[in-house]
Amino acid sequence: MTALLRAEDLTVRFRLAKQSLFGPAVHLEAVRQVSFTLEKGRALGIVGESGSGKTTTAMAAIRLTEAAGGKVLFEGEDLLELDDEHMRLRRRDIQLIFQDPYSSLNPRARVVDIVREPMDLMEIGTPEEREARVRDLFGLVGLRPDQLNLFPHQFSGGQRQRISIARALSTNPKLLVCDEPVSALDVAIQAQILNLLARLKDELGLSYLFISHDLGVVRHVCDDVAVMYLGKIVETGPCEALFDAPKHPYTQALLAAAPSLARRKSKGYARPMKLSGDPPSPLNPPKGCAFAERCPKAQAICRETPPDPQKLGSLTVSCHFAGS
Amino acid sequence: MTALLDIKDLRVTFNTRYGEVTALDSVALHVNAGETLGIVGESGCGKSITALAAMGLIPMPPGRIAGGSIQLEGEELTTASEARLRKLRGREIAMIFQEPMTSLNPVFTVGQQIAEAIRLHQNVSATQAFRDAVALLDRVGIPSAAERARDYPHQLSGGMRQRVMIAMAVSCRPKVLIADEPTTALDVTVQAQIFDLLNEIQRDFGVAIILITHDMGAVSEMADRVAVMYAGRVVEQSTADNVLDMPQHPYARGLIDCIPALGKGETELKEIPGVVPPLHLLGAGCAFADRCTLKNARCETEKPLLLNHGHHLAACHAVEEGRR
């Protein structure tokens, strides 16, 4: 297996407004030394709660947010070192789908132009070839050719997401970053889009960096998964191993919290693991393990020393007591 | 057992630019004392309108209750005066909404807001009401309740705000609590806390809960009985176990099958093809016919009635005729 995208110690810092005119600048570390590898032809899911840094990690990895440190190797080339023109050309290999299919399409453009625009910008093919490709893409994502000249508002949410996917595929990318692509859709429509994404991945050999808060969705689409908490990856590995036998207490709690058809009120279910409280503020991250405050296994060492990632079978876990 | 809240044959219409559109048609539901009824369906199916109708909160005009009845302990609500409804709201029947931030007043402390609700319905002094508010905040699991009662809504996290809403809703010990997608804006671990809290509140206060959700997993964990809605009608109603384990209506079955489950890996999800038809374009037949694999000629011309099929109420010609 070869790595398509590899992040090493990626760090993102945001500068916040000063508290007072002469006070020091306040920085918020949204992503803290995150490393991950996305293999060619596979899908890596990033899960976590809001504010855990999953979107910021992905955006920094494709240079839509400036990283404060670390490396991002795309096919062996460090994206963070590229000059603007080379990065612009690289973008044809990296495309995005967003959460909200309503605000991510220009309401005043016809969808044929929306889907063609990336090819225009990248000067791919002749105008005739581009027109033909738009038609092909429409078929590929399950839209009809007679819908080419409509405007975005004439489509339903699921269809709009199909348009976003067609637009993303127009430059023939290698990597698709999907930022909560089905969160805004109804469950029945969600299934249609997830099946489409799974089919496209197989047919076109795409790789996905897939951000979602929905564990079921990630389990369905992804091969590997990374769980984030307060700007760090706390556990990562193949989906099967991680979902079947999670080692990090946070992952265990996350799985226990996800609503499941297997837990019935009539059977008097009791949640196997309960978490109290909210995640700590990233402005003032705890000295030790970020999860220690809410963790049922936490000991003195957890509050003092941040745990290093350790290998446990196929999983990599950052927890002092993961083995126990 | 007589139902606590009994909705029969409810029909609600709205004046729109497409003319008069029927948002609810022959809706029949009931909830018994102390139980939880889950109402599931996709956006636009009428689940929230049903709740608003029960609260007497449908904006009229453009809305209109065109027929049917809503009875709370035998008292008819559709013809009740506004003054009477104001007395009932909060005291007998209360509601919590999806986005707690927009349901709370930003310029009053949360303690003041709960105290106000108490004083509207009970003849107590302001200091006593505030003391009660603090006790309620403590009851819904807010740490240092006395201090938090003096906080403004923006100082609290999303989960804490929803706890405040729950405290306010149960402050006058209502018999029915309607929760309209109470956790949609929250993270999964916080969602789990809110679900556990609602179940606890139900045990302690004996309140009946109507949980409106699009999530079958939530229904499984929370509901005793379930009503599935589609395009303004109830299409299936039974105990949660019956609906989840052996759904009768093809739409109910589709909703359950299309959920990407945590336990299984990469198999294709069953899709429900197509989209929900716009309400103003509903024809004479079953609204689900165009998306249904079991449809025949009768489905396109005749609306199925909600009939009793053993353990289920289902509105489907295929179920009626034993077609599978």
Judged by a CB distance cut-off of 8 A, whether residue B264 touches chain A is yes
Q: What is the pLDDT of residues A37-84, one digit of tens each?
A: 999 999 999 999 888 899 999 999 999 999 999 999 999 999 999 999
- Within 8 A of A243 by CB-CB distance, chain B residues are 262-263
Q: Is residue A271 part of a domain?
A: yes
List Cβ neighbours of A138 (8 Å cut-off, separation of 6 or more). A115, A144, A145, A147, A148, A166
A146 part of a folded domain: yes
Å between B13 CA and nearest CA of chain A: 23
Amino acid at B271: E
Which residues, other chains included, contact A126 with Cβ-Cβ below 8 Å and sequence gap of 6+? none
Pairing of strands B312-314, B307-309: antiparallel
CB atoms A191 and B270 under 8 Å: yes
- Using the predicted structure, report yes or no on whether residue B266 has a pLDDT greater than 60: no
| pLDDT confidence band for B263 (50 / 70 / 90) | low
Give the range of the structural domain holding residue A198, as residue numbers without chain letter.
Answer: 3-18+25-318
Say what the pLDDT of residue B135 is: 92
Residues of B in contact with A271 (CB under 8 A): 192, 196
- Is pLDDT of B95 > 90? yes
Q: What mean pLDDT comes out for the span B10-15? A: 93
Question: Does A298 map to a domain?
Answer: yes
Residue A323 forms part of a structural domain: no
Query: Which of A23-27, A82-86, B119-123, B259-263 comes out lowest in average pLDDT?
Result: B259-263
pLDDT under 50: residue ranges of chain A: none
Confirm whether A303 is domain-assigned. yes
Residue B269: which pLDDT band, with cuts at 50, 70 and 90?
confident
Given a cut of 80, whether residue B265 has pLDDT beyond it is no
Cα B52 from Cα B27, distance rounded (Å): 13
By Cβ distance, the residue of B189, B223, B271 closest to A195 is B271
Q: How confident is the model over B195-245, as pLDDT tens digits?
A: 998 998 999 889 999 999 988 889 999 999 999 999 999 999 999 999 999
B197-206: per-residue pLDDT in tens? 899 899 988 9
Phi then psi dihedrals of residue B68, to 5 deg: 90, 180
Q: CATH number for the domain including A201?
A: 3.40.50.300
Q: Where are the alpha helices (DSSP H) in B141-187?
A: 145-148, 158-169
Domain count for chain A, please give it: 1
Closest CA to A156 of B274, B14, B22: B274
pTM for the structure as a whole? 0.87
Does residue B92 have a pLDDT over 60?
Answer: yes
A150: exposed, middle or buried (Cβ count in 10 Å: 0-12, 13-18, 19+): middle
Residue A136 lies in a domain: yes
Q: Would you state the pLDDT for residue B323?
A: 78
pLDDT at B1: 56
Taking alpha carbons only, the member of B117, B166, B108, B172 closest to residue B142 is B166
Q: What is the predicted pLDDT for the residue at B191?
A: 87
Contacts of B261 in chain A (CB under 8 A): 216, 219, 260-261
Is residue A162 assigned to a domain?
A: yes
Q: Which of B188, B264, B266 sits opposite A213 (nearest CB)?
A: B188
Task: Find chain A residues with C-beta within 8 A of B36's C-beta.
Answer: 265
**DSSP state letters, A162-197:** HHHHHHHHTT--SEEEEESTTTTS-HHHHHHHHHHH
- pLDDT recorded at residue A324: 66
State the best of A203, A220, A223, A240 to mutate against chain B, taking most chain B CBs within 10 Å: A220
Q: Is there a contact between B39 and B60 (Cβ–Cβ < 8 Å)?
A: no
pLDDT band at B261 (very low <50, low <70, confident <90, very high): confident
For residue A69, the cross-strand partners are A11
What is the DSSP secondary-structure string of A278-295?
-PPPTTS--SS-TTGGG-
**pLDDT band at residue B130, thresholds of 50, 70 and 90?**
very high
Give the DSSP per-residue string, B95-140.
EE-S-HHHHS-TTS-HHHHHHHHHHHHS---HHHHHHHHHHHHHHT
In a domain, A324, yes or no: no
